[in-house]
Structure 1
Amino acid sequence: MFIYKTDFLIITLTLEIMKTIHLFQFKNSISRKPPFFKEECRLDNLNDLMAYDLMNTEKVTEFIIEVHDDFIFEDMTREDLLSMCNNAKEMIEHYFVTTMNDYDVI
């Protein structure tokens, strides 16, 4: 913060530095890192998704969020994180196959 004083006026300039973070929601949790799924289990398009039974897929939602430079993930409540995710500037859904040939691949 920069403060400049004159005889008649006090001017305060605040520089807000923002950064972009990625948060990941998987089931009921929100984290800074995506859950571990093997890359070969990733479904890249709608045709891939439709080829599998939906019971055998998992969705991970990635939120791209602008936060202040002093943002500390660990200091946020789950409700605060959910609110931030709801107001994210971008959201990307990732789908993964959880079983292949009757073997669990998570």
Structure 2
Amino acid sequence: MKTIHLFQFKNSILRKIPFFKKEHRLDSLNDLMTFDLMNTEKVTEFIIEVHDDFIFEDKTGDDLLAMCQNTKHTIEHYFATTMNDYDVI
């Protein structure tokens, strides 16, 4: 068995975290209240145990989504996309 990390952004399941810049990552939900943010995006990270022969490309989107929904370990990442009327992406 091996551990993989999958990321859900909107309706997509990805192997790597989306293109957001690290400096736009919010460390906690309190950051939402601290900064005058106009817009944020959420990326959910799923930590999944799979068989050693698991191949991401061989799975359908529905298969990957089902795997993500059945995991017990998730991390939510929040990114600022607009702050004080300026786009930060």
Q: Which runs of 5+ in 1 are unaligned?
A: 1-17
Q: What's the TM-score once normalised by structure 2's chain length?
A: 0.90
Moved over 3 A (4+): 51-55
Q: C-alpha distance in 1, partners of 2:50/2:62? A: 16
Equivalent AA in structure 1 for residue 32 of structure 2:
L
Q: Which of structures 1 and 2 has the bigger CA Rg?
A: 1
Q: C-alpha distance in 1, partners of 2:84/2:37? A: 15
Matched residue, 2:57: 74
Q: C-alpha distance in 1, partners of 2:36/2:7? A: 23
3-state SS of the aligned residue for 1:45? coil
Instruction: Say yes or no: does 1:47 pair with 2:41.
Output: no
Q: Which runs of 5+ in 2 are unaligned?
A: none
Higher relative contact order (CA 8 A, sep 6+): 2
Alignment of 1:21-100 (within 5 A): 21-52=4-35, 56-100=39-83
Q: What's the TM-score once normalised by structure 1's chain length?
A: 0.76
Identity of aligned residues (%): 82
Aligned positions, number: 89
After superposition, the Cα gap between the structure-2 partners of 1:101 and 1:53, relative to the gap in structure 1 and judged at 3 Å, is closer
